[in-house]
């Protein structure tokens, strides 16, 4: 496979964009490579600038539940485009969007649209602080909630991938109200409550961690967080930017049967356009301006093109509830194929999966938190990544991200992926 044109474009990009990319993980730095420049996505496939074709398991880092460019989203966008691109004024589509989110996610009674997952999480924290009148919040090691200053403390995703989980540029003042606990370890949370009496406004958690690889929370852990928040007048925020509409139509909270007070969304909710949202209990949401005093705003929030794509995506989900069993079947087939091969190789690498989100960790011990995840052999992962890439399989260029399957992945593609996996593992494990 030839990557000459992508390499040339990367050199050019580096002259005008820091690191040649607009988001760090996609630079392929942690796998010692140079990124592919993409020209087209169709279904589960992507084509790069050199004309190479790949089966894509990133799916734009989560949004493409139905593969790239599905006709129903394309049609909705074309129709919306006829009427203009942005008004900075309310539209009827925004109401439809809010109604759909409320219908699909039972804990959400009101919702506000924003432009990204980062905006959603930072707004949710401000809202929780404004609502409770308390300053601090708890996050978990290895969870990633976007790049607002006070989240970049023991953060996952690109921050973890590039080895800078605590970013320079975040002041002490900004960091001091962020309390960090261990994922799946309720005692570490109790401890923080003991030491910060009546000061904790919120707990924010990815109910299925997706930014230290895929690490699902234990049900008892989430139940204990729910109980604690009820007892301590603390807002439980589920960051479902990745899991929302991905693991079930009602997200991780449907899978676990636990309701959050506030939920943040991104990715699928925008049907591939830049959209985020946060929503939850009416009583909390009505603390937001212009009803209440907590300020939050955005010129492009509820943008008509973004709303058209989002409504098309959520309507498709609502009308096709069977997609989740289809995704489960496909993803479990691939998981079993990988596991069978690992057995043949006498390896027992940890594999975590919830529905169409999965991750194989290059470590033989179970992965239930950040410390377990970072035991992975990232050099071996880099070899695996390149082995798969040259066989036409496009995976996340980092051990600490998820593999996403869409409804557009055909059985034939899954078989091709399993074969590429066998050959790659033989090559890298010797």
Number of residue whose CB is nearest ligand HOZ: 23
CB of 335 to ligand HOZ, least distance (A): 21
401 is an interface residue for ligand HOZ by CB under 6 A:
yes
267 catalytic? Reply is yes
Q: Which is nearer to ligand HOZ, 2 or 23 (CB)?
A: 23
Q: Does residue 353 touch ligand HOZ according to CB under 6 A?
A: no
Alpha-helix runs per DSSP H in 82-200? 92-104, 117-132, 157-161, 172-175, 186-195
By CB under 6 A, residue 151 contacts ligand HOZ: no
Tokens of 401: 């991200």
Select from 5, 160, 44 the least CA-distant residue to 413.
44
Should residue 10 be labelled a site residue for ligand HOZ when binding is judged by CB under 6 A?
no
25 vs 311, beta carbon nearer ligand HOZ: 25
Give 151: exposed, middle or buried? Use CB within 10 Å, 0-12, 13-18, 19+: buried
Which of 61, 137, 193, 384 touches ligand HOZ by CB under 6 A?
Answer: 61
Quick one: which of 132, 211, 263, 264 contacts ligand HOZ (CB under 6 A)? Answer: 211
Segment 155-184, which members bind ligand HOZ (CB under 6 A)? 157-158
Nearer to ligand HOZ, 59 or 130 (CB): 59
Taking CB under 6 A as the binding criterion, the range among 21-29, 31-39, 92-100, 119-127 that sits at the site for ligand HOZ is: 21-29
**Are 20 and 13 spatial neighbours (Cβ–Cβ below 8 Å)?**
yes
Q: Are 267 and 118 in contact (CB under 8 A)?
A: no
For position 349 contacting ligand HOZ by CB under 6 A, the verdict is no
**Catalytic, out of 45, 134, 267, 330:** 267
End-to-end, the C-alpha distance of the chain in Å comes to 22
CA distance 419 to 388: 10
Q: Which residues neighbour 196 within 8 Å (Cβ) at sequence distance 6 or greater? A: 136, 179
- The CA-based diameter of the chain, rounded to the nearest angstrom, is 64
Q: Which is nearer to ligand HOZ, 23 or 365 (CB)?
A: 23
Phi, psi (rounded to 5 degrees) for 271: 55, 30
For the question of residue 144 being annotated catalytic, the response is yes
The residues binding ligand HOZ (CB under 6 A) are 23, 25-26, 61, 157-158, 211, 401
Active site residues: 144, 239, 267
């Amino acid at each position: 496979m030839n990557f000459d044109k992508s390499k040339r474009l990367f050199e050019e990009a580096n002259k005008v964009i820091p690191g040649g990319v607009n988001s760090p993980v996609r630079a392929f730095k942690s796998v010692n490579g140079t990124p592919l420049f993409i020209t087209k996505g169709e279904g589960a496939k992507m084509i790069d600038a050199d004309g190479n074709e790949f089966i894509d398991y990133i799916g734009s880092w989560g949004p493409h539940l139905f593969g790239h460019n599905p006709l129903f989203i394309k049609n909705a966008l074309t129709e919306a485009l006829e009427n203009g691109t942005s008004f900075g004024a309310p539209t009827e589509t925004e109401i439809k969007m809010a109604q759909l989110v409320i219908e699909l996610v039972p804990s959400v009674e009101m919702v506000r649209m924003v432009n990204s997952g980062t905006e959603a999480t930072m707004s949710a924290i401000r809202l929780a602080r404004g609502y409770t009148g308390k300053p601090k919040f708890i996050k978990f090691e290895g969870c990633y909630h976007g790049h607002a200053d006070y989240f970049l403390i023991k953060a996952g995703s690109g921050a973890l991938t590039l080895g800078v989980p605590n970013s320079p540029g975040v002041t002490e003042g900004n960091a001091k109200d962020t309390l960090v606990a261990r994922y799946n370890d309720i005692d570490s949370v109790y401890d923080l409550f003991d030491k910060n009496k009546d000061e904790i406004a919120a707990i924010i958690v990815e109910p299925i961690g997706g930014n230290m690889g895929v690490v699902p929370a234990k049900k008892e852990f989430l139940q204990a967080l729910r109980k604690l928040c009820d007892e301590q007048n603390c807002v439980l925020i589920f960051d479902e930017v990745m899991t929302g509409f991905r693991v079930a139509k009602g997200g991780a909270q449907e899978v676990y049967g636990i309701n959050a007070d506030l939920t943040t969304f991104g990715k699928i909710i925008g049907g591939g356009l830049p959209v985020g949202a946060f929503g939850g209990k009416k009583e909390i949401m009505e603390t937001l301006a212009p009803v209440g005093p907590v300020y939050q705003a955005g010129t492009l929030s509820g943008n008509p093109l973004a709303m058209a794509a989002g409504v098309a995506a959520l309507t498709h989900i609502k009308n096709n509830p069977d997609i989740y069993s289809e995704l489960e079947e496909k993803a479990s087939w691939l998981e079993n194929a990988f596991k069978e091969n690992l057995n043949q190789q006498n390896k027992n690498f940890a594999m975590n999966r919830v529905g169409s989100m999965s991750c194989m960790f290059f470590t033989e011990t179970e992965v239930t938190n950040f410390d377990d995840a970072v035991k992975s052999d990232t050099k071996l992962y880099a070899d695996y990544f390149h082995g798969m890439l040259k066989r036409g399989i496009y995976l996340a260029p980092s051990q600490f991200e998820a593999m996403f399957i869409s409804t557009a992945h055909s059985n034939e593609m899954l078989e091709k992926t399993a074969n590429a996996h066998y050959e790659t593992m033989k090559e890298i494990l010797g």
